[in-house]
Structure 1
Amino acid sequence: MKELLRSNDMAQLSFIEVLLRDSGIECVVFDGHTSILEGSLGVLPRRVMVLDEDWDAARRVLRDAGQDVP
Protein backbone atom coordinates (compact mmCIF):
# COMPACT_ATOMS: atom_id res chain seq x y z
CA MET A 1 0.00 0.00 0.00
CA LYS A 2 1.03 3.58 -0.63
CA GLU A 3 0.22 6.70 1.33
CA LEU A 4 -1.98 9.02 -0.68
CA LEU A 5 -2.13 11.86 1.85
CA ARG A 6 -2.19 12.82 5.54
CA SER A 7 -4.77 15.01 7.20
CA ASN A 8 -6.16 16.03 10.58
CA ASP A 9 -9.40 17.21 8.96
CA MET A 10 -12.09 14.58 9.57
CA ALA A 11 -14.47 16.14 7.03
CA GLN A 12 -11.78 16.05 4.34
CA LEU A 13 -10.91 12.45 5.18
CA SER A 14 -14.55 11.38 4.92
CA PHE A 15 -14.94 13.24 1.62
CA ILE A 16 -11.82 11.60 0.20
CA GLU A 17 -12.95 8.14 1.29
CA VAL A 18 -16.29 8.64 -0.48
CA LEU A 19 -14.62 10.02 -3.62
CA LEU A 20 -12.26 7.08 -3.87
CA ARG A 21 -14.87 4.42 -3.12
CA ASP A 22 -17.30 5.94 -5.63
CA SER A 23 -14.49 5.70 -8.19
CA GLY A 24 -13.96 2.03 -7.40
CA ILE A 25 -10.71 2.61 -5.53
CA GLU A 26 -10.34 0.84 -2.21
CA CYS A 27 -8.74 2.89 0.55
CA VAL A 28 -7.90 2.48 4.22
CA VAL A 29 -7.39 5.23 6.79
CA PHE A 30 -4.45 4.45 9.08
CA ASP A 31 -3.73 5.92 12.52
CA GLY A 32 -7.34 6.53 13.56
CA HIS A 33 -6.90 4.65 16.83
CA THR A 34 -3.61 6.41 17.56
CA SER A 35 -5.33 9.76 17.13
CA ILE A 36 -8.01 8.70 19.64
CA LEU A 37 -5.32 7.87 22.20
CA GLU A 38 -3.91 11.38 22.02
CA GLY A 39 -7.27 12.72 23.17
CA SER A 40 -8.87 13.65 19.83
CA LEU A 41 -6.92 16.90 19.77
CA GLY A 42 -6.14 16.44 16.10
CA VAL A 43 -2.41 16.50 16.66
CA LEU A 44 -1.61 13.22 14.90
CA PRO A 45 -2.67 13.12 11.25
CA ARG A 46 -4.43 10.12 9.76
CA ARG A 47 -3.05 8.56 6.57
CA VAL A 48 -5.15 7.59 3.58
CA MET A 49 -3.64 4.49 2.00
CA VAL A 50 -4.41 2.90 -1.39
CA LEU A 51 -3.09 -0.13 -3.23
CA ASP A 52 0.09 0.52 -5.20
CA GLU A 53 -1.66 -0.13 -8.50
CA ASP A 54 -4.45 2.38 -7.65
CA TRP A 55 -2.16 5.19 -6.53
CA ASP A 56 -2.02 7.12 -9.85
CA ALA A 57 -5.77 6.79 -10.40
CA ALA A 58 -6.46 7.91 -6.81
CA ARG A 59 -4.29 10.99 -7.24
CA ARG A 60 -6.14 11.83 -10.46
CA VAL A 61 -9.55 11.47 -8.74
CA LEU A 62 -8.49 13.81 -5.92
CA ARG A 63 -7.00 16.40 -8.30
CA ASP A 64 -10.18 16.35 -10.40
CA ALA A 65 -12.19 17.00 -7.22
CA GLY A 66 -10.03 20.02 -6.36
CA GLN A 67 -8.17 18.38 -3.49
CA ASP A 68 -4.51 19.20 -2.85
CA VAL A 69 -2.41 16.14 -3.54
CA PRO A 70 1.23 16.14 -2.43
Structure 2
Amino acid sequence: MKELMRITDPVLISYVESLLKSMNIRYFVADQAIGAAEGSIGAFPRRIQIAPEHFEKAKALMVDAGLENELRP
Protein backbone atom coordinates (compact mmCIF):
# COMPACT_ATOMS: atom_id res chain seq x y z
CA MET A 1 0.00 0.00 0.00
CA LYS A 2 1.13 3.55 -0.75
CA GLU A 3 0.26 6.56 1.36
CA LEU A 4 -2.01 9.00 -0.46
CA MET A 5 -2.98 11.38 2.35
CA ARG A 6 -2.77 12.12 6.08
CA ILE A 7 -5.97 13.61 7.44
CA THR A 8 -7.17 14.61 10.92
CA ASP A 9 -10.64 15.80 9.87
CA PRO A 10 -13.12 12.88 10.22
CA VAL A 11 -15.55 14.48 7.77
CA LEU A 12 -12.84 14.76 5.12
CA ILE A 13 -11.80 11.16 5.76
CA SER A 14 -15.38 10.07 5.17
CA TYR A 15 -15.55 12.12 1.96
CA VAL A 16 -12.30 10.63 0.65
CA GLU A 17 -13.53 7.13 1.46
CA SER A 18 -16.75 7.84 -0.41
CA LEU A 19 -14.84 9.03 -3.47
CA LEU A 20 -12.56 5.99 -3.45
CA LYS A 21 -15.47 3.57 -3.02
CA SER A 22 -17.36 5.18 -5.90
CA MET A 23 -14.43 4.37 -8.22
CA ASN A 24 -13.81 0.87 -6.77
CA ILE A 25 -10.34 1.85 -5.61
CA ARG A 26 -8.84 -0.41 -2.94
CA TYR A 27 -7.78 1.56 0.12
CA PHE A 28 -7.11 1.24 3.83
CA VAL A 29 -7.37 3.87 6.57
CA ALA A 30 -4.42 3.33 8.90
CA ASP A 31 -4.22 4.57 12.48
CA GLN A 32 -7.99 4.35 13.08
CA ALA A 33 -7.46 2.76 16.51
CA ILE A 34 -5.34 5.65 17.72
CA GLY A 35 -8.55 7.71 17.88
CA ALA A 36 -9.70 5.70 20.87
CA ALA A 37 -6.40 6.23 22.64
CA GLU A 38 -6.34 9.97 22.00
CA GLY A 39 -9.98 10.51 22.93
CA SER A 40 -10.97 11.44 19.36
CA ILE A 41 -9.49 14.94 19.60
CA GLY A 42 -7.98 14.73 16.12
CA ALA A 43 -4.38 15.17 17.21
CA PHE A 44 -3.11 12.22 15.19
CA PRO A 45 -3.72 12.04 11.45
CA ARG A 46 -5.18 8.97 9.80
CA ARG A 47 -3.27 7.71 6.77
CA ILE A 48 -5.17 6.83 3.61
CA GLN A 49 -3.31 3.93 2.00
CA ILE A 50 -3.96 2.93 -1.62
CA ALA A 51 -3.18 -0.30 -3.43
CA PRO A 52 -0.21 0.39 -5.74
CA GLU A 53 -2.14 -0.54 -8.88
CA HIS A 54 -4.79 2.10 -8.06
CA PHE A 55 -2.50 4.85 -6.75
CA GLU A 56 -2.36 7.09 -9.85
CA LYS A 57 -6.12 6.75 -10.40
CA ALA A 58 -6.75 7.71 -6.75
CA LYS A 59 -4.39 10.66 -7.01
CA ALA A 60 -6.15 11.95 -10.13
CA LEU A 61 -9.52 11.50 -8.40
CA MET A 62 -8.39 13.64 -5.46
CA VAL A 63 -7.11 16.36 -7.80
CA ASP A 64 -10.46 16.35 -9.64
CA ALA A 65 -12.22 16.69 -6.27
CA GLY A 66 -10.09 19.72 -5.37
CA LEU A 67 -8.11 17.90 -2.69
CA GLU A 68 -4.66 18.21 -4.26
CA ASN A 69 -3.37 20.16 -1.24
CA GLU A 70 -4.08 17.14 0.96
CA LEU A 71 -1.92 14.76 -1.12
CA ARG A 72 1.37 13.55 0.30
CA PRO A 73 4.48 14.69 -1.61
Asked if these proteins are the same fold (TM beyond 0.5), I'd say: yes
SS in structure 2 of the partner of residue 5 of structure 1: strand
Query: Unpaired runs of 5+ in structure 1?
Result: none
RMSD: 0.9
Query: How far, CA to CA, are the matches of 2:26 and 2:53 in structure 1?
Result: 11
How many equivalent pairs are there? Answer: 70
Structure 2: tracts of 5 or more residues without a match: none
- Identity over aligned residues, as a percent? 36
Q: What pairs with 1:1-70 in structure 2 (closer than 5 Å)?
A: 1-68=1-68, 69-70=71-72
> What's the TM-score, normalizing by structure 1?
0.93
CA distance in 2, matches of 1:39, 1:3: 24
Moved over 2 A (4+): none
TM-score w.r.t. the length of structure 2 is: 0.89
